[in-house]
Amino acid sequence: MTDTGRGAIEMLRNYNYGLVIVELFLPDMDGYDFIASLRARKIQTPIVILSAIDKPHSKIKAFSIGADDYLTKPFDPEELVARVQAILRRSNGYSQPVTEVGNMALDLNQHTVSVAGVPVHLTGKEFAILELLVLRKGISLTKEALLNHLYGGHDEPDIKIIDVFVCKLRKKLQAAGAGNLISTIWGRGYVLNDSQPKKTVANRISPATHYQENRVPQLQAAGE
């Protein structure tokens, strides 16, 4: 999270965020200018606007310059989470909340994982890493990107902690029968591969164990 538009732009230039939540009134720049600046830089990260302004022309302007959603205050936090999850799914090519990779199923809404229908318990950090790898399947992710995804640039531990989390995640998935889905890109990071076609289903994990932290990968620029 950052309080300024310029700070958010710099973070988005250096890290791969799944989504940006921004308010229209930022301390250092107008929210519309912030969105236009991102799009001018070819940064295609989805953007959700939060604002107390409920006028049609304000929403139309936001959408016309590149916003993906616009939520007026006050709002129910659960509605914001639902909108964010829907945008994240669509932006990564998934129309349904449950995604299958081989015999592993990951529920982006319920934050659960199962292998061949059997629930797999993951810690919050392990799930967050797996979630990002699934959403970026086939794309190598640097350890720096994974670290920033977990800690948001605040109080980050040594980068070697990513190797520890991935090692534990691999062991749990392999023990459950998912095979070695996560490959190491030496000198860079990790990638999730799947030799089978991607599938999406509406509801396949039941029951499944919830992970410990309900975290949505995002960058928030606050100002209002």
**pLDDT tens track for 202-221:** 333 333 333 333 344 456 66
pLDDT digits (tens, 9 = 90+) for 162-194: 999 999 999 999 999 999 999 999 888 999 987
**116 and 79 in one domain?**
no
Spatial strand order of the sheet with 189-192 comes to 141-142, 189-192, 182-185
pLDDT digits (tens, 9 = 90+) for 96-129: 778 889 999 999 888 899 999 999 999 999 999 9
**119 and 43 in one domain?**
no
Read off φ and ψ for residue 166, nearest 5 degrees.
Answer: -65, -40
Domain tally for the chain?
2
**103 and 184 in one domain?**
yes
Confidence (pTM): 0.60
**104 and 34 in one domain?**
no
Name the residue range of residue 157's domain: 98-201
β 47-51/20-23 pair status: parallel
**155 and 174 in one domain?**
yes
**118 and 174 in one domain?**
yes
Read off φ and ψ for residue 20, nearest 5 degrees.
Answer: -120, 130
Looking up residue 75, the CATH number of its domain turns out to be 3.40.50.2300
Number of other CB atoms surrounding residue 87 within 10 Å: 18
Looking up residue 165, the CATH number of its domain turns out to be 1.10.10.10
CA dist 192 and 124 (Å) reads: 18
Spatial strand order of the sheet with 47-51 comes to 69-72, 47-51, 20-23, 219-221
